A and B are shown apart, each in its own frame.
Chain A
Amino acid sequence: MIGDNNIKIKQLMLLIILIIPGGKYLSLPIVMARGIGRDSPYACLILFAIDLLMLLCIVWALNLNTYRKSVYEIISSTLSPIVAKIIMGIFALFLLVRLSYLMVYSIDIFSSTFSIKTNWLAFIIPVAIAVIFMISRGMTAVARLAQILFAFIIIAQLTMLILSIPQTDIGNLQPVLDKGIGGVLRKLPDYTLWYGDCLILLFFADCIPKNEEKYGILVAGFGISAAICIGLSVVYIGLFGSYAKYNNLAMSKVSQFIIQQTTLGRLDWLMLVIWSVSVLIKIVMFSFCCMRSINHILNITTQIGKYISLIAVMVIIVVLPLLTDVKQLVSDAFSTGWGKYVFWVCQYLLPPLLPLLVCRTNKREQADNNIILNSKSKLKKLVDGDAQQQTNMADSIMRGQP
């Protein structure tokens, strides 16, 4: 049943730790190395710092959200339903773009690393089916799944990262910022699309149980995942230096350095498979949020409607790569092109505004509650008054008075 989506803060934290590095390990170090060169870890650090500020705003808003309203309800009641639908539309597009890219690259891992001769569709359709199945079991189940798999994924991830460190060449990272920080800052806007994963927290604003108040651990979770991502970026540049931009998949390239003896076999592939589960979880989370956005836009509340919108999301991300070169499209239109400015509304404008909007929603809710309470007390008085009047009339009739 799509709908059992209660998630505890602790589970959200684990999800954040899993999904942020989940996608970023695929190709981001390579994409950033192409534009920024060896200074890409610094760009990564700055973008994560900006994301941290946004996360703090989101966490603050979640903390204020005592009535557990959804983001759509908050925006709809404070700004207007039209604005809320537009923002949900931007979210849906943002998530679809990220999903398509993620899907293409995660399929690349398997089709180019593990089973080269298999048809591309043979990979993507099972993934889409698995995503639909997992969302149909509810996000509570996905959160619990993250709890079970967390240790295995993190161990696989850290093993790949740490065992590659001895092979890194510090010289590849130097000289540091030889073109100055300005060069990095100028390129930053072209990579914002790949960040903002913590925005998915907004879609769980109404799913967090009321007694859960420990939002600080979300920030801790974000810190851990940011550290892992920056670590990978550093290791990747350290391993490949000026050749960093010529690869396709960062993780599969980094992981091959952990095997020192060829007689041991490619045990790194097993770790890669375990790690790839985090990419699947990220796809599930993004698909769920995308489905929720569409549901808000189209006012879908029925189960069948939710399934249809979910299947529609899956169909889009399966069909899109058949029609166009997704990597090129995303890069030209949304990463470096005009699209990024549209997404900034959700990425960098909405989060700072959100605490304010939540406060206004709370005030309205409080006012509504007061009106209801007042109406109830007036009604009670009226009923009591009627009863008293009827009693007086009955008394007067009994006494024989008109």
Chain B
Amino acid sequence: MKTLSQTIFDMNALNQLVKESTPDMRIRHLSGVKQITVLSLDGMSDDTYVSTQVVQPIVEMGLNCKTTHQLSQKVIFAIKCDSVTLVDKMRELFYNGYTLVFISPDECLALDTRTTLGRNIVQPPTSNVTKGPREGFVESIKVNITLLRKRIKGPELHIEYVTVGKHTNTMVAICYISSIASQEIADKIVQRIKAITVDGVLDSSYISSYLDHRGITLFRMVGTTEKPDVVAGKMLEGRIAVIVDGSPIVLTIPYLFVEDIQGPEDYYGSPEIITVNRILRSLSAVICVILPSLYVSLQLFNYQIIPLKFLITIFDATQNIPFNPLVEMVVVLVIFDILREANARMPSIAGLSLSLIGAVVLGDAAVRAGLLGAPAVMIGALSGIGLYTMPNNTLLLTLVRLVLTFIGGIMGLFGLSLAVVAILAYMVSLSSFGAPYLAPFAPDISSDRKDALIKVPLSKMYKRPQSIKQKNDTRIK
């Protein structure tokens, strides 16, 4: 990085910034003992704030100032006011909405005048709750950190800022509770984010791909949420949150598979009911992944396993189908996925009705025309819907389901059992920043199982999750 004195050799920082100027750059020269120049960015800086907290005090009291120090000590009202000497830092702050005040060629004052223009805080569309807080993150990092700060009020909420993206200069905040989270993991995350050299970061998913498991991994190793209460809860367990400016999705690390079973309102209801719900979610995920492949392999290879009456019903429903069971099931699954994809991209007004028509017309017509069997359509639909009980891994499980269906259709129960074991072996070998991905089931960590499939009351969860490295594992003394 060049210091300003180095830059002055050919061009001073102010001239350099002005030379790079964009149409939305605002420049105000104020003549006093020395010329004072105020630079701000239209839209990114709050005009009223710049006028009343920066320009007005300078005009009224600061024209006699000779140094940056005098300006910051006696004139500027803005609460965040730092002296900056590095051109690159000036550029980064300026384009993030800071106002720069130059009085001398070798340094400027950077004032936090960032606007909070953006969406209001609303209930996140991806995780509606009937119980518990309804606030959701928005696109402004400032607001998001405030939402977090509202929940963790104390000096131990540590926030570290990193700027990423050559052209986007996106601000990324790494947040953790310093007395709980592992410093080693936090440092590792900061290092990895600092090491990112990319043109632009437009969403937290850009960062997520760098924090994921090294190398290619099928399963996601970084958690995401839009709810500040969920992030606060995870931070209280020793996890680290990464907030990216411009994204309402906050990343949480380390991430375990069991977190996908835990719903956003699980901590606001009766533990018994939540336990039943979690068991249902897990069962439905397992059934939905395996059911199509099991159906195909039983039909093709081992129909003897199916109870007789059930077998007769299936035979009646499928005897005139022109496809073999594997092709039939793959067609059903692909149709379901097409409907899902189309629904995600349709305008919301047309979305529901069109997808309903699509599902009813396609499914019913295909069965009536004798192209597809009713059992296959039913299994495909159940499997497709059921996967949404694990929202973070739905798309991946869809892929796994399709692969298993192919294997079941080609190799029967033998291939299916091999494939399931291989997938499990792959999953248990994964870890997210030292936390085993399938903990607390494998490895078996008994204290962590209090908040896995079975949920015990919060008053009995004495320890924080042992599967995650942390400084202080005592939750309740």
Q: Which residues of A are at the interface with B, using a C-beta cutoff of 8 A?
A: 4, 8, 10-11, 110, 114-115, 122-123, 126-127, 130, 133-134, 137-138, 140-142, 144-145, 147-149, 262-267, 269-270, 273-274, 276-277, 280
Contact = CB atoms under 8 A, between A and B. Distances in A.
A148 B412 CA distance: 23
A137 B426 CA distance: 7
B443 A280 contact: no
Interface in B22-68: none
Given A114-B414, A148-B441, A277 B421 contact: yes
B438 interface: yes
Contact of A133 (B305, B309, B310, B422): B422
A270 B418 contact: no
Contacts of A264: 307-308
Given A4-B429, A122-B411, 16 more contacts: A114-B412, A115-B412, A126-B411, A130-B422, A134-B421, A142-B425, A145-B428, A147-B441, A147-B442, A149-B424, A264-B307, A265-B304, A265-B311, A269-B302, A270-B305, A280-B417
Given A114-B302, A147-B441, A280 B421 contact: yes
B429 A137 contact: yes
A251 to B, nearest CB: 15
Contacts of A140: 429
Nearest to B420: A277
Interface of B: 301-302, 304-311, 411-415, 417-418, 421-422, 424-426, 428-429, 436, 438, 441-444
Contacts of B306: 265
Q: Which of B302, B308, B414, B441 has the most CB of A within 10 A?
A: B414
A110 B414 contact: yes
Contacts of A123: 414
Q: Which of B302, B413, B425 has the most CB atoms of chain A within a 10 A radius of its CB?
A: B425
Nearest to B309: A263
- In the complex, the 5 A-B pairs of residues with the closest C-beta atoms, listed nearest first: A144-B442, A141-B429, A144-B428, A137-B429, A265-B307
Nearest to B300: A115
B307 A115 contact: no
A130 B421 contact: yes
A145 B305 contact: no
A11 to B, nearest CB: 7
Contacts of B422: 130, 133-134
Contacts of B418: 126-127, 130, 280
B421 A145 contact: yes
A110 B301 CA distance: 11
A269 B311 CA distance: 16
Given A130-B422, A142-B425, A148 B442 contact: yes
16 contacts: A115-B302, A126-B414, A137-B425, A137-B429, A140-B429, A141-B425, A141-B426, A141-B428, A142-B425, A145-B421, A145-B425, A147-B441, A265-B305, A265-B310, A270-B305, A277-B417
A145 B413 CA distance: 19
B466 to A, nearest CB: 14
Contact of B308 (A10, A11, A262): A262
B417 A273 contact: yes
B214 to A, nearest CB: 12
A140 B442 CA distance: 10
Nearest to A111: B414
Contacts of B412: 110, 114-115
Contacts of A122: 411
Contact of B301 (A10, A115, A137, A266): A115
Contacts of B428: 137, 141, 144-145, 148
Contacts of B307: 263-265
B454 to A, nearest CB: 14
Contacts of B411: 122, 126
A141 B426 CA distance: 8
Nearest to B307: A265
Nearest to A134: B425
Nearest to A140: B429
A241 B103 CA distance: 104
B425 A266 contact: no
Contacts of B414: 110, 114-115, 123, 126, 273
A279 to B, nearest CB: 10
Contacts of A142: 425
A244 B441 CA distance: 40
B435 to A, nearest CB: 13
Contacts of A8: 443
Nearest to A123: B414
A38 to B, nearest CB: 32
Contacts of A266: 302, 304-305
Nearest to B308: A263
Nearest to B303: A265
B448 to A, nearest CB: 13
B415 A11 contact: no
A138 B436 CA distance: 14
B213 to A, nearest CB: 13
B289 to A, nearest CB: 15
B297 to A, nearest CB: 9
A265 B314 CA distance: 14
Contacts of B311: 265
A147 B443 contact: yes
Contacts of B429: 4, 137-138, 140-141, 144
Which of A8, A134, A138 neighbours the largest number of chain B CB atoms within 10 Å of its CB?
Answer: A134
A148 B302 contact: no
Contacts of B308: 262-265
B443 A114 contact: no
A209 to B, nearest CB: 12
A263 B304 CA distance: 10
A141 B421 CA distance: 11
Nearest to B421: A277
A269 B443 contact: no
A10 B425 contact: no
B434 to A, nearest CB: 13
Contact of A269 (B304, B441, B442): B304
A25 B360 CA distance: 50
Contacts of B309: 263
A227 B441 CA distance: 26
Contacts of B425: 133-134, 137, 141-142, 145
A148 B417 CA distance: 14
A219 B130 CA distance: 52
Contacts of A149: 421, 424
B444 A10 contact: yes
A269 B424 contact: no
Nearest to B418: A130
A138 B443 CA distance: 14
A148 B306 CA distance: 27
A114 B303 CA distance: 10
Nearest to A137: B429
B190 to A, nearest CB: 26
A144 B421 contact: no
Nearest to B416: A273
B444 A145 contact: no
A110 B429 CA distance: 28
A276 B417 contact: yes
A137 B213 CA distance: 14
A140 B436 CA distance: 11
A133 B305 CA distance: 30
